[in-house]
Amino acid sequence: MKNLSLLLCSLLFVACSNNTSKLDTIIDNAFRAAEAQSLLMAEKYANQEGRLPRTYENGKDVSSDSRWWCSGFFPGSLWYIYENTGSPAVLQYAKQYTDRVEREKFTTDNHDVGFMLYCSFGNGLRLTGNEQYNEVLLTGAHSLATRYKPSVGLIRSWDHNKENWQYPVIIDNIMNLELLIWAANHFGDSKFLDIVTSHADKTMVHHFRPDNSSYHVVSYDTITGLPHLKQTHQGYSDESSWSRGQAWGLYGYTYLYRELKEERYLEQARNIANYIINHPNMPKDGIPYWDFNTPEIPNTARDASAGALIASALIELSDYVEPQLGKQYLAIAETQIRTLASPEYTAQPGENGCFILKHSTGGYPFNSEVDVPLTYTDYYYLEALTRMKKKLN
């Protein structure tokens, strides 16, 4: 069975390799190849209780339990593959790996509960209507809300490094608000929306520079509620533009506009998009270097995760802007998808630790997860493929 899967994946990989093909053909072949590769991944960890794939580094599998912030992405990837292929085997694994994350609904010491639960249980609920998933998501929303301090007006990101940070908030945190919006919409609790709008508005004021680039970490004074420190953690320098951070911001304000219909969020998303796509250091293939401002460009690592995130966000944002600009966004996203679906970025079948994409960067300054596959890269790539497929149909 495994040899048959490898053979099928090999054939599909060849089919995906022609970057001159029609986009709909590339997307369909990419999903078939992703299904074969992800089934190999699911089989690999099926009997390792509670384990979830994280990366593949130095020739070794790196997994985590549900506590790691990325735990919801592999089950989320399986849900996207199931949505597009209808595979019963993928559905079975999607349920199994989603269940491995359930205990995080009680987590109050981690701001990434939104990533953990909304990518897994949220997609599962959307595709199956499983009522039990409602409880997990609602409980998780209440847990996430405990990290909000009204006097500061933001959800606290991290609890470490207290000698430097009083109340650190990272740009990534904008992504976790979607879980709270879901809870507000489904259960009518206005406190969740109050948290969302406060966090989004204060982030817009204090995280972004005049050129619409974003800091990674802003630490707030717990008494005044104002920033006392603006830094990076994973970027090149405090004043540089860490590429995935820019992508988080673009994606975040795009969905905030979708859900809340506030024009200020649409304007913020447009401004961030303009910064990213017109940056002189953005490669023509649409996949950013790990930081837009590192002096090592072009002799440094790319970050496919940032590319996949930007593509997914631009596809959605294209629906909310004037037609000509929307066409520009879609053209850029198409370039990114074609690049990621090419042999340069899509792994050979059965290799790359059974992850779909290569060439992502986690923490370059720490020499951690540099030029490796990452589970969230695959997730946002599959989401971008799904969104583009719907645009084409």
Q: Report all structural domains of the chain as residue ranges with CATH numbers, in order of start.
A: 1-47+260-393 (1.50.10.10)
pLDDT, one tens digit for every residue, the chain (393 residues)? 444 444 344 444 444 444 568 999 999 999 999 999 999 999 999 999 999 999 999 999 999 999 999 999 999 999 999 999 999 999 999 999 999 999 999 999 999 999 999 999 999 999 999 999 999 999 999 999 999 999 999 999 999 999 999 999 999 999 999 999 999 999 999 999 999 999 999 999 999 999 999 999 999 999 999 999 999 999 999 999 999 999 999 999 999 999 999 999 999 999 999 999 999 999 999 999 999 999 999 999 999 999 999 999 999 999 999 999 999 999 999 999 999 999 999 998 899 999 999 999 999 999 999 999 999 999 999 999 999 999 999
Between CA 341 and CA 81 the distance in angstroms is 15
Cis peptide leading into 365, omega within 30 of 0? no
Catalytic (active site) residue 28: no
Selection from 350, 348, 346, 368 nearest residue 359 by Cα: 346
Tokens of 77: 């990837």
- Which residue matches tokens 């506590």? 67
Cis peptide leading into 298, omega within 30 of 0? yes
Catalytic (active site) residue 172: yes
Selection from 96, 143, 142 nearest residue 120 by Cα: 96
Predicted TM-score of the model (pTM) = 0.95
Beta-carbon count within 10 A of 58 CB: 6
Catalytic residue (one of 99, 109, 172, 211) = 172
Catalytic residue (one of 65, 99, 112, 371) = 112
